[in-house]
């Protein structure tokens, strides 16, 4: 018998209905929800990231929402560390943790493990960026080929950020990052049940369009305007999210509101397509319709 503790994953593309379904199931099965969304960690960004409404948060605990300010650093490693703490606390309370969201990398590292790479070195990183500026990214790429050809073959020669990180890890550890990723990955010990919600593509796109329209009615323009007034500028990683950068363009006069809305709809649909491609590569998912709640309950009962 598998004595490891349960972790229920409910993933899926944006707009497919993860929030409502996971809330209903977690409420019925004495669960708590952990957000696996890389944008919902930011404070003050509520409408554009489709955070669960306060009415749901009052009914059961939600975790890893509003963790950092929009100008603060938040990494995949941060997510893994904090999520593992929360999962342990939920288990200690005798409840079931539900990992819910559409950020595939968050789900992958929590269910497959993450190699223990060293913390960033600001001085080393600055030095490497200076070399990239002076000699070009191909200069650093050639260095990476010499020390870690396998990793270099996985990267675009112009992907300066990832090239620098690979070099940084090697210079700090003396071990190629590709080797660390293979040999030093920590295994997880959860009794996993992983669902990916899915529905007809045309229906999903229709729901995405409707959701964008609701965001505008709920005050997305004011939310973005207030963020800019608070000093959170357009160059922040948080503000590059779909919805925010298009509204910033509108507020700067680069487009009218209707065009900005249509761009949000189109780019959200494109994002959903990329999410589905990512999730299809994960063979552990049980693909299921959001309407098939009874089937989901049955699968979960087997791991409780």
The total domain count for the chain is 2
Contact by Cβ (8 Å): 71, 238: yes
pLDDT in tens, the chain (304 residues): 345 799 999 999 999 999 999 999 999 999 999 999 999 999 999 999 999 999 999 999 999 999 999 999 888 878 988 999 999 999 999 999 999 999 998 999 899 876 666 777 777 888 899 999 999 999 999 999 999 999 999 999 999 999 999 999 888 878 888 887 776 666 778 999 999 999 999 999 999 999 999 999 999 999 999 999 999 998 888 998 999 999 999 999 999 999 999 999 999 999 999 999 999 999 999 999 998 888 888 888 766 6
Q: Are residues 273 and 217 in the same domain?
A: yes
CATH label of the domain that carries residue 202: 3.40.50.300
Residue 273 has what DSSP assignment?
Answer: H
Q: Are residues 21 and 132 in the same domain?
A: no
Q: Are residues 150 and 66 in the same domain?
A: no
Q: Are residues 13 and 92 in the same domain?
A: yes
Q: Are residues 287 and 200 in the same domain?
A: yes
Q: Are residues 42 and 164 in the same domain?
A: no
CATH label of the domain that carries residue 132: 1.10.20.140
Beta strands per DSSP E along the chain: 5-12, 31-35, 62-63, 96-101, 190-197, 286-288
φ, ψ for residue 69 (rounded to 5)?
-75, 160
Q: Are residues 150 and 228 in the same domain?
A: no
Residue 113: closest CA among 81, 91, 87, 138: 81
Contact by Cβ (8 Å): 53, 46: no
**SS3 (DSSP) at 36:** coil
Q: Which domain holds residue 170?
A: 122-183
Q: Are residues 21 and 42 in the same domain?
A: yes
Q: Are residues 79 and 137 in the same domain?
A: no
Q: Are residues 139 and 250 in the same domain?
A: no
Residue 265: closest CA among 197, 223, 206: 206
């Amino acid at each position: 018998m598998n004595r490891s503790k349960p972790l229920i994953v409910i993933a899926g593309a944006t707009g497919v209905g993860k929030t409502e379904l996971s809330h209903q199931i977690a409420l019925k099965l004495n669960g708590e929800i952990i957000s696996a969304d890389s944008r919902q960690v930011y404070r003050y960004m509520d409408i554009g990231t489709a955070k669960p409404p306060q009415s749901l948060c009052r009914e059961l605990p939600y975790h890893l929402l509003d963790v950092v300010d929009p100008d603060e650093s938040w990494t995949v490693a941060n997510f893994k560390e904090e999520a593992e703490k929360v999962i342990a606390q939920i288990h200690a309370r005798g409840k079931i943790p539900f990992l819910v969201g559409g950020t595939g990398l968050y789900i992958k590292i929590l269910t497959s493990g993450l190699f223990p790479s060293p913390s960033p070195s600001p001085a080393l990183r600055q030095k490497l960026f200076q070399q990239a500026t002076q000699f070009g990214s191909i200069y650093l790429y050639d260095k990476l080929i010499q020390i870690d050809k396998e990793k270099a073959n996985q990267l675009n020669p112009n992907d300066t950020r990832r090239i620098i990180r690979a070099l940084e890890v090697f210079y700090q550890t003396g071990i190629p990052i590709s080797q660390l990723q293979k040999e030093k990955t920590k295994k997880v010990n959860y009794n996993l049940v992983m669902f990916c919600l899915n529905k007809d593509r045309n229906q999903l796109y229709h729901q995405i369009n409707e959701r964008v329209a609701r965001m505008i009615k709920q005050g997305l323009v004011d939310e973005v305007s207030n963020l800019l007034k608070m000093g959170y500028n357009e160059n922040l990683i948080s503000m590059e999210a779909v919805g925010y950068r298009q509204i910033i363009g509108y507020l700067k006069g680069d487009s009218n509101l209707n065009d900005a809305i249509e761009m949000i709809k189109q780019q959200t649909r494109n994002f959903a397509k990329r999410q589905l491609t990512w999730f299809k590569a994960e063979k552990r998912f049980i693909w299921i319709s959001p309407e098939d709640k009874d089937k989901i309950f049955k699968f979960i009962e087997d791991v409780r």
